[in-house]
């Protein structure tokens, strides 16, 4: 690839205008970009390597990040996570991020792109830890991308959202798993949730999932894109169905997480 050759990158639902140039990725920037770059710089400086490194802003006003080689897990490579060892690896990757971010002090003029207010504010959370933002490299290197909606949140808010996507806790017949409860336990054990955190996480599973439905509903009612299009395509119904599926099985999740 020539240095000045732009290769459009696809994936996800809101990733328009993202291109690769050499070993870098260029993305549209926003008022939150300097703060997110400060976060990513901190993660790099403390040794967390499962995130891209910021390289500044280019002459077109786009943010520049290191390119993370590999393939996004969702949907075509999700079978990689059928192996519980890999599911546990993801949980530990998230725990390592949450530990790495503890020492981060946001700039005094911090500006975050907060889409869904979190329950709690003990850390700066990724807010979208999901299979569509997990890249698996050829040499077994795993990394999370799309940090532009990071912001104040809580570890358990991040964890509940990640559990929904990586178990997955889905009502859809193509993704619903008979071993969901067992995989939930694997994830919680690998992350290192204590008993009190497990008790708190179970009701969060449904609330965090339902918050996605409510966000899409409210944005669609205001005609805000790309959320209005996603709502029209049925994404809101999918999140609502998943929330109902999770809420109806809270006793099952609780038993799985607290069983001796």
Residue 109 placed within a domain: no
DSSP-derived secondary structure for 179-197 = THHHHHHHHHHHHT--HHH
Residues facing 7 on adjacent strands: 20
pLDDT band at 10 (very low <50, low <70, confident <90, very high): low
User: Are 126 and 31 in the same domain?
Assistant: no
Q: What is the pLDDT of residues 13-36, one digit of tens each?
A: 555 789 999 999 999 999 999 999
Predicted TM-score (pTM) of the model is: 0.94
What DSSP line would sit under 37-87, residue for residue?
HHHHHHHHHTT--SSPPEEEE-TTSEEEEE---SEE-TTTTGGGGGSHHHH
Q: How many domains, the chain?
A: 2
The answer on 210 and 96 residing in a single domain is yes
Handedness of CA 127, 207, 91, 122 (dihedral sign): positive
What are the tokens at 42? 């901190």
- Separation of alpha carbons 210 and 200, rounded Å: 16
Residue span of the structural domain in which 44 resides: 7-66
Local structure of residue 143 (DSSP, 8 states) = E
Q: How far is CA 257 from CA 78, 92, 195, in A?
A: 23, 17, 8
CATH of the domain at 167: 1.10.510.10
Phi-psi region of 148 (alpha: psi -120 to 50; beta: other; left: phi over 0): alpha
pLDDT value at residue 3: 53
Summarised one tens digit per residue, pLDDT across range 161-186 is 999 999 999 999 999 999 999 999 99
Residue 110 located in a structural domain: no
Report whether pLDDT(11) > 60: no
| One domain, residues 59 and 162 | no
Which two structure tokens, joined as six digits, stand for 21? 């140039």
């Amino acid at each position: 690839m020539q240095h000045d050759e732009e290769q459009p990158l696809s994936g996800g639902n809101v990733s328009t205008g993202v291109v690769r140039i050499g070993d870098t990725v260029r993305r549209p920037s926003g008022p939150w970009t300097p703060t997110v770059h400060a976060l990513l710089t901190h993660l790099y400086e403390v040794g967390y390597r499962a995130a891209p490194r910021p390289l500044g802003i280019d002459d077109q006003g786009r943010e520049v990040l290191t390119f993370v080689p590999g393939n996004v897990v969702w949907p075509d490579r999700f079978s990689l996570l059928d192996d519980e060892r890999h599911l546990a690896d993801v949980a530990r990757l998230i725990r390592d991020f949450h530990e790495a971010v503890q020492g981060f002090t946001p700039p005094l003029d911090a500006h975050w792109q907060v889409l869904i207010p979190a329950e709690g504010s003990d850390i700066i959370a990724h807010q979208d830890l999901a299979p569509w933002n997990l890249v698996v490299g050829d040499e077994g290197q795993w990394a999370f991308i799309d940090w532009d909606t990071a912001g104040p949140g809580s570890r358990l808010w991040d964890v509940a959202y990640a559990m929904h996507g990586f178990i997955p806790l889905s009502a859809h017949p193509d993704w619903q798993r008979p071993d969901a409860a067992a995989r939930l336990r694997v994830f919680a054990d690998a992350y290192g949730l204590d008993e009190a955190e497990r008790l708190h996480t179970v009701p969060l599973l449904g609330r965090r999932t339902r918050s996605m439905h409510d966000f899409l509903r409210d944005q669609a009612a205001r005609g805000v894109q790309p959320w209005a299009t996603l709502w029209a395509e049925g994404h809101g119904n999918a999140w609502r169905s998943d929330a109902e599926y999770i809420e109806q099985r809270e006793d099952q999740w609780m038993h799985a997480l607290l069983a001796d």
